[in-house]
Amino acid sequence: MYNSKTMNTNFNFEELKSKIESATRKSFKENSKKYGSDICSFSLISDDGAMTVVPFTNTKSHLTELQLEDPTYKDTYEFEPAEWFTSDGANTEFNDICKMVSDEVDNDDLDFEAFRNTLFETCVQVLEKLRTEHFFRNELGKNLLVLFSISDTSEPKENLIQWGKRLNSEAIGNRFEVYLINE
């Protein structure tokens, strides 16, 4: 599936995918123990430079507090992981993942765009697998908003919308699309 030769890299995306999945499970379980059923959203976030992968979790109490303080940005608080409650969980594992990808980005021969796109798709595939396996629902006893996001990005909104729809119910995916279109 991943053609590392066209990217001029020996980077192992299957290994990365496995590490992201393991770290995501650990992060979510750690936060589930701390915040329980108050959790309402989970996201993986990267950056336009493809040097990070970080988990974000939101709680209903945090979301409600922000939305009451400033109702104008109600949807922003719901759909923008940078506004969410915590980026804690599986810190050592995610630090290792960040080092792994940032070291590869420093490769002068790297086809950066291909690497970046494959990194982003890998993150979405991990979240999609966990959603399909009902991992989040099994941990919390309910479905929640799941996103892949990119900080400070010029990524086309169409890609963000497609990912949001892949990772959520039709109703949530459609609300996310409306939010991004009107943003």
- Asked if residue 4 is part of any domain, the answer here is no
What is the residue type of 171?
Answer: A
pTM over 0.85: yes
What residue numbers bound the domain in which 74 lies? 13-182
Q: Give helix 112-132 / helix 157-166 axis angle, nearest 10°.
A: 20
- For residue 114, give the amino acid letter: A
The answer to the question of residue 3 being in a domain is no
How do beta strands 54-59 and 39-47 pair?
antiparallel
For residue 5, being part of any structural domain is answered with: no
Q: What's 86's DSSP letter?
A: B
143 token code pair: 């479905």
By CB atoms closer than 10 A (0-12, 13-18, 19+), residue 6 is exposed
pLDDT tens track, the chain, 183 positions: 455 545 667 889 999 999 999 999 999 999 999 999 999 999 999 999 999 999 999 999 999 999 999 999 999 999 999 999 999 999 999 999 999 999 999 988 889 999 999 999 999 999 999 999 999 999 999 999 999 999 988 889 999 999 999 999 999 999 999 999 998
* Total domains, the chain: 1
Residue 89 lies in a domain: yes
In a domain, 133, yes or no: yes
